[in-house]
Structure 1
Amino acid sequence: MELQSETFNPADFAWRGISLTPAAAAHVCDLAVKQGVQGIRLGIKTSGCAGFAYVLDTVTEPKADDLLFEVDGAKLWVPLQAMPFIDGTEVDYVREGLNQIFKFHNPKAQHECGCGESFGVQAE
């Protein structure tokens, strides 16, 4: 009997998507206008004590494997390879004291580090 190895292809899945709150959408639109970009890209990188960290970059030209999520004119791209880790995430923009920051409400995050900079996920 021959064993076959299956590969994981994110393109084979139906995604719930990424959502933006009205505050996050307004801030992304402001950034796009002020910086002369199309929007932002939300990705992840291996980092921190919990496993992964969110990465935000401005987008002047989307990449071929980016998925576009648009809310109220705000454009958010996500690399296809990041979707298994952040699918269903709501992006918010909040004021915390004197700081204004993006917050991520990720239903796949099983735990976060104490400083809140990284998160971990459970394999499904």
Structure 2
Amino acid sequence: MDAPASRIFAILASPERHPDIDGSGTVRGSRFGPPELAPDARFGMDMKLFGLPYRMTNRVVEYEKDRLIAWRHFGTHRWRYELEELPGGGTRVTETFDYSRGFSQFYVLAGMPARNARGIEATLVRLKELAERE
């Protein structure tokens, strides 16, 4: 992305901005939480999946300012963003959804890996557009 890691991280660390970057179509809005996420911060989101609204509470479980942020909800899997500033300018952003910490069979059977892969691709496009525009 043609933006500094600090700008990209600021977007990721703001729960209010998550609906702006969500490429899955599931994140509807922020319910509670700090304006900027920090280690162990909790934040709630309004969500919608398969036409059904629900609420999700997340907790930041990995955090290195301007480099790494990850959160999880009641499950053990996590959403993770790694940022690496490139020598020639810009930032490489890697988003992952880690199933390795439990419930993996359920998610595989439900077809979630393919769905999440499409959402990740779309999220990275939206994040890039937003970060480069600001």
- TM-score of the superposed pair, with normalisation by structure 1: 0.31
The structure number with the bigger radius of gyration is 1
- TM-score of the superposed pair, with normalisation by structure 2: 0.30
Which structure: greater strand fraction?
Answer: 1
Which structure: greater helix fraction?
Answer: 2
